[in-house]
A and B are shown apart, each in its own frame.
Chain A
Amino acid sequence: MAFNQRSDFLWKRQTAGDKLFTGIIYAALVLVCMITLLPILQVVTVSLSPNDVVGQYGLHLFPTRISLSGYEKVLQFKPIWTAYLNTIIRSALGIVITQVLLALGAYPLSKKYLPNRGFWTFLVLLTMYFSGGIVPNYILITKYLKLRNTVWALVLPAAVNAYTLVIVRNFFEAIPDSLEESARIDGASEWRVLTSIVIPLSKPVIATTALWSLVYHWNTWLDCMLYISDASRYVLQLVLRQILLQGQLQDMNIMTQVSVNNDTMKMATLVVSILPVIVIYPFLQKYFVKGVMIGAVKG
């Protein structure tokens, strides 16, 4: 009740110009919401509709008739589930490795007493401007590191991102020195400071960067296509991609029987694949905003 009165009060205090401004902001937000939500509604509806409804023109925002045939097909399609597991393994491994390396990398860089700190930071930043490109990367991973057909080829190349490292470093820098000093007076080593003081205070940035890792590992497929040749090790997005693109290859070998997955199944696969990220996101969201903000302000 108190809140309502307050907002009411604020609204009345606004001039016509303020109201117009607020109106425009609301309109813009609604527009952004629609741009984001309409495709999702379309995908979910198509995944729930029988094929003859899907074939009709126009938007499919709300199901008119429900059919679960798409989901039934997905449930029976084994490669999706193998790939699902591979993606989960890859994401979990990727997140753990990334977080460990980020913490270990960002901590020294955040210390003013690190010798040649400017030089080390410069080295890290350099990778943001120059990269070897895809072919040298490929040669490095397959010929020298011999990681072909292993999950390491998917996890190690992207383990540390310079931009993320800088954000974590900035977050660490923002932690008051006095906290560390008090720990040191009690006899804590650098390691103890990192694990007992810095990391517990850095939950927002850890949650944020972990979510970034998760989204990256969940959505990437090109590296899998390049480095993995064993179909049982494919990640979800690659299998999804194959399902989605089926039927678009214009081949003229017409004596082969043609049979492609219908859009219902394609969209059902899509829904199944984005579900975990959608479920996890709300739990991390409170950290997410804070983490990005702090990194940004100090950066």
Chain B
Amino acid sequence: MRKLLAVLLCLAMILPCVTAGAEEANRFQDREPISVEWLAYNTYGQPDPASSKVIQAVQEKYNIDLSFWFVDDQQWDEVLGVRLASGEMPDIMKIKNVQNTSKYQQQGILAEITPEMLAKMPSYTAAVDAYDADDNIWVDAMVDGKIYALKGINLGSSYPTTLIWRLDWLKNVGIDATPVTIEEWETALRKVTFEDPDQNGKNDTYGISNTVISAVFGAFGAIPLKEFRGSGTQNLFMTKKDGKMVFAATQPEAKQALELLARWYAEGLIDPEFITGENTGGYWAVSQAFENNKVAVMGMSMANHWNPPLVEGAAPGACLKSFLELHPDAVFGETIIPGLPPVGPEGKSGTHTWGVAGGSFGITAKAAEDPEKLDVLLQMIEDVFADFDYAAMTSYGFLEDNDYSIIEGVYATNPEKYPDTAASTKAGLNVLNATVSNPEFAKLFNKPQYDFFDQWKTTGYMDEKYPAVPAQDQYLADLKTFTLQTYVDIITGTQSVDSFDGFVAKFNEQGGKQIEDEINAAMGL
């Protein structure tokens, strides 16, 4: 073993002289090791440099000493806020809430991403240009016209969220295929509500709950909110009208959708408990209402949360796995099947889509002060996009260590070694790639998955991106609560549908208009 190591080390010393790529390695090996504080990852667990081979390999490659900040995801702003306020900062950090970008910039935490810096990452910028079809990926990373955050590209989230039907229920009430138009939807929902689709002799089913409501808005042209429940984080979505950004919540099409929903609610087609949400624990995309035979269709999850094992030995998607525990005989395509979002009177339709832009992460002012450190950080990001082997190693670990396997072209993490994301994060998987990946590589890692995605792709509404403006900090939180309250009141019949006009006036008066004006001014629209 030692001899082998010695040979390898000799090779490692000789190779730099031969290959061009290794010249770069030299660039890092000639200097003293630099310490790098890393927070550009999803904090499912805490990476452990002492036991992680991936982290050690990266440390060696770039001649750095990595230390990891661990910030609890559910207390992100509180915990990180304290540490940042005390003057500490990591070198590279995930920006969990993009609306904090301007705040961090004002506090002097984020460094500007200059054109020179982007030029040092040619593969990264090329990938961004190739996938940013709407040319808006930088919008929420900008403050005063300058870029302060790097964006990930997430091919998976460019696919719309999926609506999943209980096909067995539909068949039980005499419908053979999932409904398409809003009229067909109404008929189907009525039948699954009143004709005992689960054949238990009780009238205990509903058509839809919280997670499908956004798709009903989609049938009329815009989605105002992702979810219609009292808890959880909510964003008020914007939509483009006559070239200007406006809140979808105040548009006339939202009123049309509310009118329909209020009628459905009065008729009993909507689960009256929709306001508490469908997910009561476990993985976030699971709907307990759907699993417990309460509703016929659910939204919010992605198609690949539902895929049956695509290659031998692979696990089913997270939602299907959970569904199978309560319905062991369920078969994808027979018991459950993805359906199309309802098509409205003007032919519009779509479910909520996260968009190709992934999360934001920033390089801090502290890191930017040190040219050598900045050089390393930029090269690390560039290599995730340029070097397939490096990308595979930082995402999946080492093949020879059984960190993952490749079955029929699918890269799959070893479930015994990494039973959950906390374990894989501890081992440094998906940590040092700064949670970003080259979409071209992603397709290579998991082709069947993307084929499955393509098979069930529907229409969708992508989140319109917009820059953070000062008026948001002042008004947005109250506007969200006000909107949700009014919407729920209208759907449940506490307020009349006509009170919508009063809501719009009050919404704009209470800062809604000001936010729109500031956003349009900032975007030059």
A residues near B, CB below 8 A?
Answer: 51-52, 55-57, 134-135, 138-139, 142-143, 222, 225-226, 229, 231, 241-243, 245-263
The answer to whether B75 touches A259, judged by C-beta atoms less than 8 angstroms apart, is no
| Assembled-state Cα–Cα distance A241/B156 (Å) | 29
A257 / chain B contacts, CB cutoff of 8 Å: 315, 412-413, 415
| Assembled-state Cα–Cα distance A231/B423 (Å) | 12
| Assembled-state Cα–Cα distance A135/B83 (Å) | 8
| Assembled-state Cα–Cα distance A296/B368 (Å) | 58
Q: How distant is B174 from chain A, measured CB to nearest CB, in Å?
A: 27
| Assembled-state Cα–Cα distance A254/B152 (Å) | 13
A51 / chain B contacts, CB cutoff of 8 Å: 325
The answer to whether A138 touches B326, judged by C-beta atoms less than 8 angstroms apart, is no
The answer to whether B86 touches A138, judged by C-beta atoms less than 8 angstroms apart, is yes
Q: How distant is A144 from chain B, measured CB to nearest CB, in Å?
A: 11
The answer to whether B325 touches A134, judged by C-beta atoms less than 8 angstroms apart, is no
Q: For A260, give its contact among B71, B283, B413 (CB under 8 Å).
A: B283
B435 is an interface residue with CB less than 8 A from chain A: yes
A256 / chain B contacts, CB cutoff of 8 Å: 395, 413, 421, 424, 430
The answer to whether A134 touches B421, judged by C-beta atoms less than 8 angstroms apart, is no
Among B282, B302, B318, B328, the one with the most A-chain Cβ atoms within 10 Å of its Cβ is B282
A143 / chain B contacts, CB cutoff of 8 Å: 86
| Assembled-state Cα–Cα distance A253/B87 (Å) | 31
Stretch at the interface among B57-65, B129-137, B287-295, B475-483: B287-295
The answer to whether B437 touches A226, judged by C-beta atoms less than 8 angstroms apart, is no
B211 is an interface residue with CB less than 8 A from chain A: no
| Assembled-state Cα–Cα distance A127/B46 (Å) | 35
A226 / chain B contacts, CB cutoff of 8 Å: 79, 82-83
| Assembled-state Cα–Cα distance A263/B85 (Å) | 36
The answer to whether A55 touches B86, judged by C-beta atoms less than 8 angstroms apart, is no
Could you write out 5 A-B pairs with CB less than 8 Å apart?
Answer: A55-B288, A55-B325, A226-B83, A253-B156, A257-B413
For chain B, the bracket of interface size reads 35 or more
The answer to whether B283 touches A255, judged by C-beta atoms less than 8 angstroms apart, is no
- Nearest residue in A to B443 (C-beta to C-beta)? A255
A245 / chain B contacts, CB cutoff of 8 Å: 72-74
| Assembled-state Cα–Cα distance A247/B83 (Å) | 25
The answer to whether A259 touches B292, judged by C-beta atoms less than 8 angstroms apart, is no
Contact with A along B421-462 (1 / 0, CB 8 A): 110101000100001010000100110010000000000000
| Assembled-state Cα–Cα distance A191/B334 (Å) | 82
| Assembled-state Cα–Cα distance A51/B445 (Å) | 31
B281 is an interface residue with CB less than 8 A from chain A: yes
A250 / chain B contacts, CB cutoff of 8 Å: 284-285
B442 / chain A contacts, CB cutoff of 8 Å: 255
The answer to whether B282 touches A262, judged by C-beta atoms less than 8 angstroms apart, is yes
The answer to whether A259 touches B420, judged by C-beta atoms less than 8 angstroms apart, is yes
The answer to whether A260 touches B292, judged by C-beta atoms less than 8 angstroms apart, is no
| Assembled-state Cα–Cα distance A222/B80 (Å) | 12
The answer to whether B291 touches A55, judged by C-beta atoms less than 8 angstroms apart, is yes
B residues near A, CB below 8 A?
Answer: 42, 44-46, 48, 67-75, 79, 82-83, 85-88, 154, 156-157, 281-285, 288, 291-292, 294, 302, 304-305, 315, 317-318, 322, 325-326, 328, 354, 358-359, 395, 412-413, 415, 419-422, 424, 426, 430, 435, 437, 442, 445-446, 449
| Assembled-state Cα–Cα distance A127/B292 (Å) | 52
A231 / chain B contacts, CB cutoff of 8 Å: 46, 48, 70, 426
Q: How distant is B166 from chain A, measured CB to nearest CB, in Å?
A: 16
B282 / chain A contacts, CB cutoff of 8 Å: 247, 260, 262-263
Q: How distant is A271 from chain B, measured CB to nearest CB, in Å?
A: 16
Knowing A55-B292, A226-B82, A226-B83, the reply to whether A255 touches B437 (Cβ < 8 A) is yes
Closest 3 pairs between A and B when the two form their complex, measured CB to CB: A252-B157, A258-B318, A254-B156
| Assembled-state Cα–Cα distance A52/B328 (Å) | 9
| Assembled-state Cα–Cα distance A143/B88 (Å) | 10
| Assembled-state Cα–Cα distance A51/B86 (Å) | 44
Q: For B154, give its contact among A138, A247, A252, A258 (CB under 8 Å).
A: A252
The answer to whether A52 touches B326, judged by C-beta atoms less than 8 angstroms apart, is yes
| Assembled-state Cα–Cα distance A255/B443 (Å) | 10
Q: For A253, give its contact among B71, B288, B412, B435 (CB under 8 Å).
A: B435
- Nearest residue in A to B291 (C-beta to C-beta)? A55
| Assembled-state Cα–Cα distance A6/B31 (Å) | 90
The answer to whether A57 touches B75, judged by C-beta atoms less than 8 angstroms apart, is no
The answer to whether B44 touches A249, judged by C-beta atoms less than 8 angstroms apart, is yes
| Assembled-state Cα–Cα distance A256/B420 (Å) | 10
B415 / chain A contacts, CB cutoff of 8 Å: 257, 259
The answer to whether B421 touches A258, judged by C-beta atoms less than 8 angstroms apart, is yes
- Nearest residue in A to B43 (C-beta to C-beta)? A249
Q: How distant is B506 from chain A, measured CB to nearest CB, in Å?
A: 30
Q: How distant is A82 from chain B, measured CB to nearest CB, in Å?
A: 12
The answer to whether A254 touches B283, judged by C-beta atoms less than 8 angstroms apart, is no
Knowing A134-B82, A135-B85, the reply to whether A252 touches B284 (Cβ < 8 A) is no
Q: How distant is B6 from chain A, measured CB to nearest CB, in Å?
A: 33
- Nearest residue in A to B292 (C-beta to C-beta)? A57
Q: For A57, give its contact among B284, B294, B413 (CB under 8 Å).
A: B294
The answer to whether A242 touches B45, judged by C-beta atoms less than 8 angstroms apart, is yes
Extra 14 A-B pairs, beta carbons < 8 Å, given A57-B294, A225-B79, A251-B435? A55-B322, A56-B292, A135-B86, A139-B87, A225-B72, A226-B82, A248-B74, A249-B44, A249-B284, A251-B359, A253-B156, A255-B449, A259-B318, A260-B420
A225 / chain B contacts, CB cutoff of 8 Å: 70-72, 75, 79
Q: How distant is A246 from chain B, measured CB to nearest CB, in Å?
A: 6
- Nearest residue in A to B449 (C-beta to C-beta)? A255
B315 / chain A contacts, CB cutoff of 8 Å: 257, 259
| Assembled-state Cα–Cα distance A252/B420 (Å) | 16
Q: How distant is B152 from chain A, measured CB to nearest CB, in Å?
A: 8
The answer to whether A138 touches B420, judged by C-beta atoms less than 8 angstroms apart, is no
The answer to whether B74 touches A138, judged by C-beta atoms less than 8 angstroms apart, is no
A134 / chain B contacts, CB cutoff of 8 Å: 82
Q: How distant is B483 from chain A, measured CB to nearest CB, in Å?
A: 20
The answer to whether A254 touches B46, judged by C-beta atoms less than 8 angstroms apart, is no
The answer to whether A252 touches B358, judged by C-beta atoms less than 8 angstroms apart, is yes
Q: How distant is A154 from chain B, measured CB to nearest CB, in Å?
A: 15
Q: For B283, give its contact among A142, A229, A243, A258 (CB under 8 Å).
A: A258
- Nearest residue in B to A241 (C-beta to C-beta)? B72
Q: How distant is B355 from chain A, measured CB to nearest CB, in Å?
A: 9
The answer to whether A260 touches B74, judged by C-beta atoms less than 8 angstroms apart, is no
